[in-house]
Amino acid sequence: MFSLYHFTTAVVTTNPGFVWRSKDCNDVLTCEGGGKITKATSPCAANTKCHGVGDNNMKCVCLPGFFGNPQSKEGCQPGIDFPGKICYNYIDQKSGKNKTECVCKEGYVSDCKDCLDVDECSEGIHNCDLSREKCVNAAGSYKCDCLDGFVKKGYKCKADKTRKCPDAQDNCKKAWDQAKKEQLCSASVAYRQCLDKILLENLCPKGPEYPQELNDADASCINKEPEPESSNGQPGEPVFTSWTTFNDCQYKSGDCGLGTQRRTRQVVPYSDKRKVRKVAKYEVEESRVCFKKCPGMKAQDCPCSCVCDESSPVCGAIGPGKAKTYKSECQLILEACPTSYTAIKLYDGPCSKEDGASNRKMCAAGPRQKIMKYDKVKAGRRCVGEPVMIGTCQNMLCEGTSCNCCRPLEFDYIQVDVNCLSTDKKAKPMKSKHVYMSATKCGCTSLTPEK
């Protein structure tokens, strides 16, 4: 049953054909122009509900666990569970035919035809703390396993102090057992210093255990040997604790841009108070450049990666394409700064061969770069152009339904000169041009017709 009446809201009267639902979703209203609106009673169908905020924004949506076209009279249907996807049937509103569509489950993405498991680890779309965790891909998901020396406590990996203490003491004991066979007194000094290092590094909550045999060795060595020194009477080399972790980045201005991080270590004294050479400041204090891109920072304002002063390799990626080894995390972040991409650190250390060859294929990270060379035979001529690099969204992946495809949203035109040489006696050589459409931005769109 249709009715006709006037409506004066400017948004509606200036947009003939605009369709919306009433606040309770029971009526479908259409602007016919000239301030006239038609109203048709059409409440939300089975397994749907009315949802929205404000005037002209109400719509019927599927209830949780149901799928299909909530605007159709059939409403939504229960989904059929398949590995990696949930499929449902619906009636195409244009053709009237029954069709099937699938929704990719969390952790799965579309290649335009089906739902595939996405490797969150190689794509860098995980939440693992790579300083203490390793990302491990799983079907439809991933997990963060603790690195050696860390244990899971709640949802986080924390330093395994329960093993660090006994392991460190065992290493000191093994070195002592070996060295005391050759020179007891020198071995006792090294053993005590090894335990003192554990104390300074706070590896044992109650401190390391100093065994009685060490005290007995120290007592028997008093006045039996001259003060140990290195050759030629020169002071000995100092022994250091391990470096602390780098502190948070201290930015030069505000909370972004270039900054500095620092870490320290200590000198472990010898128990026999032997002389050691003077320690330089750089041996106990280290700093490195750090960087965080400021909101709205333009490419020309990004610092050169040459300011990075640390050599600590990381495996990472900038946008789509192969992961590669960067000299440091600083270099990775700074090289990403002039681009529209986010630097993805996969893990510390050089890339393995497997990771170096993997591609980041999520559509939002596109376009990826591809070399194209025009080479075609037509009308008795072979036409060849110079190789050119273009942007493409092909073979990149999308979230959502199995019919979602990665397509260019924006692109540039790239023109190349083409030389056409004759392949038979009748055709004459000629010159031509070919234009490529090079994607500059990718986005996911559905191949499924409107339901």
DSSP string of 204-223, one letter each residue? STT-----HHHHHHHHHHTT
Confidence of residue 329 (pLDDT cuts 50, 70, 90): very high
pLDDT digits (tens, 9 = 90+) for 98-113: 888 888 888 888 888 8
Tell whether the model's pLDDT for residue 415 goes beyond 80: yes
Confidence of residue 427 (pLDDT cuts 50, 70, 90): low
Q: Does residue 231 sit within a domain?
A: no
Answer yes or no: do 197 and 262 share one domain. no
Q: Does residue 233 sit within a domain?
A: no
Q: What is the mean pLDDT of the chain?
A: 82
Answer yes or no: do 273 and 335 share one domain. yes
Compute φ and ψ for 266, nearest 5 degrees: -120, 160
Name the token pair of 115: 């739902």
Q: Does residue 234 sit within a domain?
A: no
Strand order in the sheet with 250-253: 250-253, 256-264, 285-292
pLDDT at 47: 92
pLDDT digits (tens, 9 = 90+) for 229-281: 444 556 778 888 888 888 899 999 889 999 999 999 888 887 777 788 888 89
Name the token pair of 137: 């891909």
pLDDT digits (tens, 9 = 90+) for 378-414: 777 888 888 888 888 887 888 888 778 888 888 899 8
Confidence of residue 224 (pLDDT cuts 50, 70, 90): low
Q: Does residue 243 sit within a domain?
A: no
Answer yes or no: do 164 and 151 share one domain. no
**Rounded distance between C-alpha atoms, residue 252 and residue 221, angstroms:** 54
Answer yes or no: do 397 and 445 share one domain. yes
User: Of 100, 134, 158, at which residue does a domain stop?
Assistant: 158
**Mean pLDDT of all residues in 155-183:** 84
Compute φ and ψ for 75, nearest 5 degrees: 70, -150
Residue partners of 20: CB distance under 8 A and separation at least 6? 28, 29, 56, 57, 58
Nearest alpha-carbon partner for 47 in 25, 21, 78: 78
Answer yes or no: do 348 and 392 share one domain. no
Answer yes or no: do 135 and 184 share one domain. no
User: Of 309, 343, 360, at which residue does a domain stop?
Assistant: 360
Answer yes or no: do 261 and 356 share one domain. yes
Do 260 and 249 touch, CB atoms closer than 8 A?
yes
Q: What is the CATH number of the domain that holds 411?
A: 2.10.90.10
User: Of 360, 383, 418, at which residue does a domain stop?
Assistant: 360
**Mean pLDDT of all residues in 304-318:** 88
| Element at 68 (helix H, strand E) | strand 66-68
Compute φ and ψ for 131, nearest 5 degrees: -75, -15
Q: Does residue 335 sit within a domain?
A: yes
Answer yes or no: do 281 and 218 share one domain. no
Q: Does residue 435 sit within a domain?
A: yes
In the 3-class helix/strand/coil scheme, how is 11-33 assigned residue by residue?
HHHCCCCCEEECCCCCEEEEEEE
Answer yes or no: do 345 and 264 share one domain. yes
pLDDT at 166: 86
Answer yes or no: do 342 and 281 share one domain. yes
User: Is 175 in a helix, a strand, or coil?
Assistant: helix
Q: How many Cα atoms occupy the beta-carbon half-sphere of 314 within 13 Å?
A: 18
Domain extent, residue 68, equals 1-78
Residue partners of 326: CB distance under 8 A and separation at least 6? 313, 314, 315, 316, 332, 335
Q: What is the DSSP letter of 22?
A: -
Residue type at 421? L
**Rounded distance between C-alpha atoms, residue 136 and residue 121, angstroms:** 7
Q: What is the pTM of this model?
A: 0.49
DSSP string, 232-271: GGPPBPPEEPPPPPP---EEEETTEEEEEEEEE--EEPPT
Confidence of residue 226 (pLDDT cuts 50, 70, 90): very low
Between 278 and 205, whose confidence is greater?
Answer: 278
Do 416 and 385 touch, CB atoms closer than 8 A?
yes
Q: Does residue 200 sit within a domain?
A: yes
Rg (CA), the chain: 34
15-19: long-range pairs with CB below 8 Å, 24+: none
Number of domains in the chain: 5
Q: Does residue 55 sit within a domain?
A: yes
Task: Say which range, 144-153, 245-254, 353-362, has the weakest mean pLDDT.
Answer: 353-362
**Mean pLDDT of all residues in 109-129:** 80
Do 213 and 191 touch, CB atoms closer than 8 A?
no
Answer yes or no: do 378 and 337 share one domain. no
Residue type at 307? V
Nearest alpha-carbon partner for 333 in 348, 345, 321: 345
**Rounded distance between C-alpha atoms, residue 323 and residue 333, angstroms:** 14
Answer yes or no: do 295 and 336 share one domain. yes
**Rounded distance between C-alpha atoms, residue 347 and residue 316, angstroms:** 7
pLDDT digits (tens, 9 = 90+) for 68-94: 888 888 888 888 888 888 888 877 777
Q: What is the CATH number of the domain that holds 124?
A: 2.10.25.10
**Rounded distance between C-alpha atoms, residue 191 and residue 183, angstroms:** 12
| Element at 161 (helix H, strand E) | helix 161-179
Task: Say which range, 269-278, 284-293, 306-315, has the weakest mean pLDDT.
Answer: 269-278
